[in-house]
Structure 1
């Protein structure tokens, strides 16, 4: 029995966003009915294709669903579609991206008749604003979201990654909205209606960069292949055999890296101690360490790096993933049947240990119904919700208590999303070692100046939370943590494996205190992985995921598409996993442990090439900025310095309009260019003409001229440019909130909106260190003022970070 067994889902329209959202529901037992036109979902024709012409992308996005064919020319089409929706629990609507010949239907009227119905609709840019109605593709949206301009060679063009990164991210957000609504409905609430903007969903990847660059006042730029502001090295490098992913963020990691390579001069240079300090000297530093790396294999360096606690990892080819027994054992790679072809694809990354997802499945042929192992009998979803039991403006996770043992980006994004959806999140830090995103500097001057309260990225990632401090290394702090956990619904940590267990806060201990507890460990590789002790950052996760082998120019190095890409992806997948386990806990009374491996969360982006390799034994083709289907497709220079625009002709009519716009009416009527394959033979010539047209125009001017005739185009923005983006401002995406030590600060909203209106308001700023000690310890745990004062004197709690010297004195008991 899956967690969502008995839940009926209808998916209409065509988009990677809605397909992936529905796929996640199917993974955990939901009966997903995918509505298709007679020729099938257009995504069935998305490359890469198997030897028999089946779409590997479609397979990944749609296995374990059923297919229902509804012909729009059938006089009974409306009746059939209405009946299907009125008999379901969830409607997932991708028609605004591509209607796929689906008949128009009045969803609002159906919801009046079926108040427990949960709905979500996806669109590229939302229902209003300057970009609403823009023609778009995955790449043009990512360009606008600040995810392309900083990738690629210094001289350009910026490099795009293959489809469907944007759709998967947005599908994950859509699933989070639905899962929170399913939970709320099990508590007696009515159904909810949501919208998700694919553009805004992808800002989760760039929000840290945009606010950091704005706070520092630094002009960011492309630094070259596998080089990224604001840290170095954080890239992929060639070895004697294979490629190696390297990230050295802390001074200690840099010193260890230099020691490993025998570069004492670099190690001892105080001007190179901090990652940002090394950025001006990238070329000089690389000239010294690149030849050293070629002396040994990637695997040999990895073994030594593990001993030295350096975040390095071998960069696998797609074939390496298929040969990795751990990936199969954990369900990261699962079997898939596509017609008569048997292959492998990426399984669910939500690694629940009590209620596992389905391991693989079959892709439905058009009109094919899958055999379901479960029915709605005795399902908690078979009973209609009770409209009015819960106030309609109440957040879906209101009343849920979360204990947050996370730091940095991935874990705090997970818990921030829970908080944004209404959960009461209590963040636990220590005055000896607060969240490292407050700053890694514990020198006396930094601490005296309370610089740890002025870290913008910490404040962005920890809004809507309460904050307390507890020294978990001491019995009193540990006892208080256990009392909090006993009252909680969820515990989340993103430390290395076994850190909480060594404190005495492992799941084996906590489940005795609280049998309904959902606890998630968000380690890099998973608790039972052979890599479990490997240090890792978000960049490490991308390096080890297989994705770099499909990104970049033909014949080039494996290419990273974002720095720290794995952090937000891991955080959102962690949120999705926790919500699934929370639904199960509330309907069954059983808590469980979630062993989330963040590196597996990156693998969906490489899923179709895993399938192609497994069936045909063919390595992925790198297209650079070109596309296996759309011709032309590329990133073109505009007027000014380093200004670029992504342009794509997604069909033959769009190509004709593009040819007319750039003054090539002869191309618009040339029969040999009517098809993408015909244009591919002369794409160099086509791209040269497009480049000549864009080079004389401002990037925004070019985008709006192209969009005026419905040609997919998006300016390649810097992340910091988004703070002034008029579309985001028109949609109130940024909310200003006052934070102590900083003042008025803009914050990004969630990309999911209830009722299609304004985003949920941000309720409170990020807590200052230990801000809610008194409130939580007295009101929630019942401690007296005298008890709290004693904890403060013993420095078990506090509101001021300790410097290095003070930490040593506390450790010595002085």
Structure 2
């Protein structure tokens, strides 16, 4: 029995996002029933395939579910489906992406009769806005979201992975919406109805770059494979054996990297101290250190980098992941049965230690539950669903308290999402060591001008929270933290694994203080990993995930997709994990420890290659900008300066419309080109014709013409373009927020909505120590005199200590 075994989930329609959302429920024991047409979910036929003809993408998205066939042509199809839905707790609906021959459903009527039902519907762009109803694929959405144009060689084309990304990101958001609703319902509330925009969910990866563009202006360009603004080096390099991922962000890391490679002239050059300076001299710097890296193996450099506290990691091949005993022990790689074929795939990354997820499972055969009667009386331990109603203004997580020890992006995104959903999040910093996203380097005037209050990226990740300062290196600071934790539901940290335990705030201490507390550590590799001490950024997580080795064409070096891919992914997985654990705590009164490995959270993006290789034993296919299933598919140059458009043809009818549009009606009427295999044989010729057509048009005109013909296409946008994106503006996705010392600045909404508009941002990010008095007095009952003394002693404060003051301590 899993922690969510009391839930019954029905999944209709076909989309990767809703399939992944439902699979996350199945991971923790929910009874997930997938409704399919007689021909099966279209994703059953998506490539790549196993030798037995099974889709590895479908397998990853659907193991541990059951399958029910409902034929829309049957007279009682709608009645049967309505009965199923009326008997479930959660309905996950992907029909807007692909209806998959699903019978019609009157959701409004069902919800009026079953107010406890939780409903999630997913669409590519939402039902309102400029892009609503556009034809789309994973890659065209990523192009519009600013995730393609900055990647790849300077001259182009931009480089991207096949379509295995937006479904995971959006699926996590869908799970967050529905799992938070279950918590609310369990407290006597009604069910909630959510809409999920896959496009907006994908912007979770772009947020950081959007707000850097807002703050710094038009500074981002494509600067080469494995090169990304604003840090250098942040890439993948060849060694004597294997590839190594390197990230240097701070001056100390740069100096340590140079020392490791015996390059004192680079280390001591004052013109190379800062990232922005090194970016100007990338070629010259790489010419010096690349030959040095080839002198030793990736594993040897990894060991050396650990000693020097450099964020550095070997870049594994897919075969390396499959042989990694630690990944299997931790459940990151799990067995999966696909028909008669045995394989391995990416497991659940929400590693709850008391109520762990299932470790692997079976992919349902089409209609494998057809002979079972759909009735709740056949399910043991099913909780009754409340039909009570709550105030419509009450947020799902209202009444939940979170203590937030996290910094940067991943942890703060997790806790920001909890705060957006109504939790009271108390962010703890120290005047000695504030959140490093307030400013990494401290130039002249940094403290005097309060520049640490002016970082838009910090404000974007910490809205809706309350902030206090506590020096956790002082006894009274620890004592106050413990008092806060005694009344909390959740505590989150993304420090190195030993930081809180050494301060006396490890889970072994806190569970005695508060048995119902859910504590999550968000480290790079996991608290029990052999590599637990490895320093990491979001780039390190992508480098170590296996994904870069399948990006690009055969013979290309492993390719990164993002400056910090792993950060947002870790944050969303962390949020999903604490919601599951909190669900258990609310039912049982028992908290638990969550050992989240952020590098493992990246592995689902490589899952199709992991599974395919595990079954066939053949090396993973690298598709470049082509696609295992769609022809043509790629990023094509348009008129103007660095204009590009992403095009993906998903079926025979779309191919025929494209052929007519590009003035090749002979292709449209040639039946021999209707199949993907036939078009694959002349793919070069097709791509040449498409490229000739796009080159004569600017990117926006090309997209307009293609979408008018119902061909999936999306302009390759830059992050700065999204600040004024007409679709996002029409949906109020970017909300303007006023904050002290910054003024009016944009904030992203969540991609999940309960109505036509987003949740309103209730409060800007706190200034340093803004809520010291409010929390210490209001929550902990300290007197004014006690608070004044804490400030005198440097335990709390509202101004960062300068480096000279730190040295005195």
> TM tier, shorter chain?
over 0.9
Matched, 1:796 2:798: no
What is the CA distance between 1:218 and its match in structure 2?
A: 3.5
Partner residue, 1:703: 703
Alignment of 1:408-427 (within 5 A): 408-427=408-427
SS in 2 for 1:634: strand
Distance 1:672 1:378 in 2: 51
Partner residue, 1:28: 28
Matched, 1:183 2:201: no
Distance 1:263 1:747 in 2: 42
What is the CA distance between 1:553 and its match in structure 2?
A: 2.0
Structure 1 stretches (4+) deviating beyond 4 angstroms?
Answer: 374-381
Distance 1:10 1:316 in 2: 37
What is the CA distance between 1:683 and its match in structure 2?
A: 1.0
SS in 1 for 2:206: helix
Alignment of 1:227-246 (within 5 A): 227-246=227-246
Give the conservation status (yes or no) of the 8 Å contact 1:442–1:803. Answer: no
SS in 1 for 2:403: strand
Partner residue, 2:771: 772
Distance 1:239 1:378 in 2: 56
Distance 2:765 2:405 in 1: 15
- After superposition, the C-alpha distances for 1:334-355 in whole angstroms (9 at most, x for unaligned) are 1100000011111100000000
Partner residue, 2:270: 270
Partner residue, 1:131: 131
What is the CA distance between 1:442 and its match in structure 2?
A: 4.2
Matched, 1:361 2:361: yes
Partner residue, 1:556: 556
Q: Describe the shift of the 1:380–1:183 C-alpha distance in structure 2 as closer, same or farther (beyond 3 A).
A: farther
RMSD: 1.4
Distance 1:674 1:562 in 2: 36
Alignment of 1:465-614 (within 5 A): 465-614=465-614
Distance 2:346 2:134 in 1: 32
What is the CA distance between 1:275 and its match in structure 2?
A: 1.6
Partner residue, 2:198: 198
Partner residue, 1:145: 145
Give the conservation status (yes or no) of the 8 Å contact 1:6–1:377. Answer: no
Give the conservation status (yes or no) of the 8 Å contact 2:89–2:385. Answer: no
Partner residue, 2:293: 293
SS in 2 for 1:204: helix
Give the conservation status (yes or no) of the 8 Å contact 1:143–1:646. Answer: yes
Give the conservation status (yes or no) of the 8 Å contact 1:205–1:565. Answer: yes
Distance 2:379 2:807 in 1: 58
Give the conservation status (yes or no) of the 8 Å contact 2:118–2:191. Answer: yes
Distance 2:179 2:743 in 1: 35
Alignment of 1:20-419 (within 5 A): 20-369=20-369, 382-388=383-389, 390-419=390-419
Between stretches 206-215 and 174-183, larger displacement belongs to: 206-215
Matched, 1:760 2:726: no
Q: Describe the shift of the 1:238–1:376 C-alpha distance in structure 2 as closer, same or farther (beyond 3 A).
A: farther
SS in 2 for 1:103: coil
Partner residue, 1:725: 725
Give the conservation status (yes or no) of the 8 Å contact 1:5–1:379. Answer: no
- After superposition, the C-alpha distances for 1:409-468 in whole angstroms (9 at most, x for unaligned) are 000000000000000000000000000000123466311111101111100000000000
Give the conservation status (yes or no) of the 8 Å contact 2:217–2:720. Answer: no
SS in 2 for 1:446: coil
Distance 1:763 1:330 in 2: 39
Q: Describe the shift of the 1:39–1:267 C-alpha distance in structure 2 as closer, same or farther (beyond 3 A).
A: same
Alignment of 1:420-459 (within 5 A): 420-442=420-442, 445-459=445-459
SS in 2 for 1:445: coil
Give the conservation status (yes or no) of the 8 Å contact 2:87–2:376. Answer: no
Between stretches 465-474 and 681-690, larger displacement belongs to: 681-690
What is the CA distance between 1:375 and its match in structure 2?
A: 8.4
What is the CA distance between 1:183 and its match in structure 2?
A: 0.5
Give the conservation status (yes or no) of the 8 Å contact 1:640–1:698. Answer: yes
Q: Describe the shift of the 1:82–1:549 C-alpha distance in structure 2 as closer, same or farther (beyond 3 A).
A: same
Give the conservation status (yes or no) of the 8 Å contact 2:114–2:387. Answer: no
Distance 1:650 1:501 in 2: 52
What is the CA distance between 1:391 and its match in structure 2?
A: 1.1
Between stretches 157-166 and 131-140, larger displacement belongs to: 157-166
Give the conservation status (yes or no) of the 8 Å contact 2:232–2:282. Answer: yes
Instruction: Using structure 2 for the length normalisation, give the TM-score.
Output: 0.99
- After superposition, the C-alpha distances for 1:679-738 in whole angstroms (9 at most, x for unaligned) are 111111111111111111111111011001110000000011101100000111010110
Distance 2:774 2:320 in 1: 52
What is the CA distance between 1:673 and its match in structure 2?
A: 1.1
Q: Describe the shift of the 1:375–1:109 C-alpha distance in structure 2 as closer, same or farther (beyond 3 A).
A: closer
- After superposition, the C-alpha distances for 1:736-795 in whole angstroms (9 at most, x for unaligned) are 11011100011000000013x210000000000000000000011000000000001001
Q: Describe the shift of the 1:444–1:695 C-alpha distance in structure 2 as closer, same or farther (beyond 3 A).
A: closer
Distance 2:75 2:84 in 1: 16
Partner residue, 1:745: 745
Give the conservation status (yes or no) of the 8 Å contact 1:442–1:802. Answer: no
- After superposition, the C-alpha distances for 1:119-165 in whole angstroms (9 at most, x for unaligned) are 00000000011111100000000000000000110000001212120
Distance 1:671 1:376 in 2: 52
Distance 2:633 2:747 in 1: 34
Give the conservation status (yes or no) of the 8 Å contact 1:5–1:376. Answer: no
SS in 1 for 2:18: helix
SS in 2 for 1:202: helix
Give the conservation status (yes or no) of the 8 Å contact 2:41–2:100. Answer: yes
What is the CA distance between 1:620 and its match in structure 2?
A: 1.1
Distance 1:76 1:548 in 2: 49
What is the CA distance between 1:214 and its match in structure 2?
A: 1.9
Distance 1:748 1:531 in 2: 34
SS in 1 for 2:445: helix
Aligned residues: 807
Distance 1:149 1:104 in 2: 39
SS in 2 for 1:448: coil
Q: Which runs of 5+ in 1 are unaligned?
A: none
- After superposition, the C-alpha distances for 1:395-420 in whole angstroms (9 at most, x for unaligned) are 00001000000000000000000000
Distance 2:422 2:774 in 1: 19
Distance 1:183 1:227 in 2: 42
Distance 2:786 2:384 in 1: 48
Give the conservation status (yes or no) of the 8 Å contact 1:419–1:425. Answer: yes
SS in 1 for 2:624: coil
Distance 1:192 1:789 in 2: 45
What is the CA distance between 1:79 and its match in structure 2?
A: 0.9
What is the CA distance between 1:6 and its match in structure 2?
A: 2.0
Partner residue, 1:808: 807
Distance 1:647 1:386 in 2: 46
Q: Describe the shift of the 1:584–1:676 C-alpha distance in structure 2 as closer, same or farther (beyond 3 A).
A: same
What is the CA distance between 1:393 and its match in structure 2?
A: 2.1
Partner residue, 1:784: 783
Between stretches 515-524 and 548-557, larger displacement belongs to: 548-557
